[in-house]
């Protein structure tokens, strides 16, 4: 059959197969097959197993062949938290941070998120799209095949819609899946600050002007809120998420990053798909997340870039049974990386996760965080053939070689979207 592809030669094939999200000990279960093979039909996986098992299928004989040459193959990474569309880097703030200015001090001087808002409002759609397309190529080059993307640097009707419209165009014009999230409640925009009831008036704008456009135009699947000091309170966040839900947007949250506010509790209460950051969670939050279906998404790139020492308590969350996921938080202010392998390295060194736990958190659990677990996140029959191949002999070498990209090939829906001629070291 012309549209079948037989992939062999995976010294280690990490299938991540199994039922339900990975919690506790099961986070280490990679479903590893030695000398693994896959049969792909069209976009989807038709068979998975050892080379002997897959090669003996009648369909395998007539299929196109791809030999991975003894490399390691795993599901393409699912990056469940990014701020993909932005106008420019904030390298000018980087030296201030190194000199000791806190994230909030920089924000008070007109830097931070509002700096990105100013740049985005001034940027054309064409320029924003060019930058995002270049970033998406790099995501693929690091083994990522699905990217969640948030608005939130527009903060007015025209600019937020400009970002969300771009998510739609980007999804249609390049191979990676883009999962669109509306983050109108990122911070209160400058024009509403310092006025009495400014935040309330901005929330009204979200409820009455922004969300109707987003909902009617089907421009996002999720509604996110940055619930933290200097952003939105728990009460305000609840209002925004409830309003989003009325337009069919499922809630997710930025929670407990700079201060403990009770945001994680709200996320659980609202059955949010995910609550992200969690550096400041307390013991009872950890226990509550352990019993909940809300994914605990950790973003160690953020703490690394800001030079912070207080990482999220990954080990306690895993022990409590929380569904732990990892993401880049790709954004120009606090985590300018699109490398999921680098995030795995940070998860191992700083969050004390094992390489196996980190890989499961960046694939199948991240798919749960995006409610895409039925189609991506593992290599199983009927799922999309989204595959990352690494030029390593053992999967543990993916995080071990920090800051070095050993991604050799990336396939999206069975098609090669990135390949290198890289030789093994």
Residues forming the site for Zn ion (CB under 5 A): 329
CB of 199 to Zn ion, least distance (A): 19
Q: Are 406 and 345 in contact (CB under 8 A)?
A: no
Based on CB atoms, which residue is closest to Zn ion, 39 or 324? Answer: 324
- Laid out side by side, the sheet with 77-79 consists of 77-79, 144-150, 177-185, 222-227, 250-255, 274-277, 295-298, 324-326
* Residue whose structure tokens are 């924003």: 128
Handedness of CA 131, 158, 145, 286 (dihedral sign): positive
Based on CB atoms, which residue is closest to Zn ion, 145 or 151? Answer: 151
CB of 109 to Zn ion, least distance (A): 21
CB of 147 to Zn ion, least distance (A): 13
Question: 306: which 2 tokens?
Answer: 């800001």
CB of 215 to Zn ion, least distance (A): 22
Question: 120: which 2 tokens?
Answer: 């985005």
Q: Residue with the closest Cβ to Zn ion?
A: 329
Q: Are 329 and 113 in contact (CB under 8 A)?
A: no
CB of 344 to Zn ion, least distance (A): 19
CB of 283 to Zn ion, least distance (A): 25
Based on CB atoms, which residue is closest to Zn ion, 112 or 175? Answer: 112
Report in angstroms the alpha-carbon separations of 391 from 12, 341, 404.
Answer: 11, 13, 11
Based on CB atoms, which residue is closest to Zn ion, 79 or 329? Answer: 329
Based on CB atoms, which residue is closest to Zn ion, 329 or 373? Answer: 329
**In what helix (H) or strand (E) does residue 36 lie, and over which residues does it extend?**
strand 32-41
Based on CB atoms, which residue is closest to Zn ion, 225 or 314? Answer: 225
Based on CB atoms, which residue is closest to Zn ion, 104 or 208? Answer: 104
CB of 331 to Zn ion, least distance (A): 6
In 230-253, which positions are buried (b, 16+ CB within 10 angstroms) versus exposed (e)?
ebbbbebbbbbbebbeebebbbbb
* Residue whose structure tokens are 């396939």: 411
CB of 305 to Zn ion, least distance (A): 12
- DSSP3 helix / strand / coil % (the chain, rounded to 5): 40, 25, 35
Based on CB atoms, which residue is closest to Zn ion, 285 or 329? Answer: 329
Q: Which parts of 104-244 are beta strand (E)?
A: 144-150, 177-185, 222-227
């Amino acid at each position: 059959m012309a549209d079948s592809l037989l992939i062999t030669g995976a010294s280690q094939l990490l299938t991540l197969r199994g039922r339900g999200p990975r919690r506790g000990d099961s986070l280490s279960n990679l479903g590893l097959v030695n000398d693994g093979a896959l049969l792909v039909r069209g976009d989807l996986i038709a068979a998975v197993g050892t080379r002997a098992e897959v090669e003996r299928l009648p369909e395998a004989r007539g299929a196109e062949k791809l030999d991975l040459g003894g490399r390691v193959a795993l599901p393409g990474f699912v990056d469940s938290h990014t701020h993909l569309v932005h106008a420019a880097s904030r390298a000018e703030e980087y030296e201030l941070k190194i000199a000791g200015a806190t994230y909030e001090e920089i924000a008070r001087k007109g830097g931070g998120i509002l700096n990105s808002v100013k740049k985005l409002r001034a940027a054309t759609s064409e320029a924003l799209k060019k930058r995002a397309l270049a970033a998406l190529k790099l995501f693929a080059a690091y083994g990522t095949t699905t990217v969640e993307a948030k608005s939130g640097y527009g903060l007015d009707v025209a600019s937020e819609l400009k970002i969300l419209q771009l998510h739609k165009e980007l999804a249609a014009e390049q191979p990676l899946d883009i999962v669109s999230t509306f983050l109108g409640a990122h911070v209160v925009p400058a024009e509403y600050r310092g006025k009495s009831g400014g935040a309330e008036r901005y929330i009204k704008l979200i409820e009455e002007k922004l969300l109707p456009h987003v909902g009617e135009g089907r421009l996002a699947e999720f509604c996110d809120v940055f619930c933290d000091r200097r952003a939105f309170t728990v009460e305000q966040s609840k209002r925004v998420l409830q309003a989003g839900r009325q337009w069919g947007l499922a809630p997710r949250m930025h929670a407990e990053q700079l201060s403990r506010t009770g945001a994680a509790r709200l996320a659980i209460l609202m059955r949010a798909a995910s609550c992200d950051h969690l550096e400041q969670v307390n013991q009872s939050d950890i226990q509550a997340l352990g019993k909940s279906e809300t994914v605990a998404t950790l973003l160690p790139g953020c703490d690394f870039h800001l030079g912070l020492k207080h990482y999220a308590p990954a080990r306690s969350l895993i022990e409590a049974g929380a569904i732990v996921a990892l993401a880049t938080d790709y954004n120009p202010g606090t985590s300018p990386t699109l490398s999921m392998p680098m995030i795995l390295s940070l998860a191992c060194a700083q969050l004390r996760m094992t390489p196996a736990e980190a890989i499961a958190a960046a694939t199948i659990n991240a798919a749960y965080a995006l409610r895409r677990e039925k189609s991506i996140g593992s290599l199983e029959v009927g799922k999309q053939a989204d595959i990352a191949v690494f030029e390593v002999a053992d999967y543990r070498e993916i995080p071990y070689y920090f800051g070095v990209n050993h991604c050799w090939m990336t396939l999206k829906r069975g098609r090669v979207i990135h390949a290198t001629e890289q030789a093994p070291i």
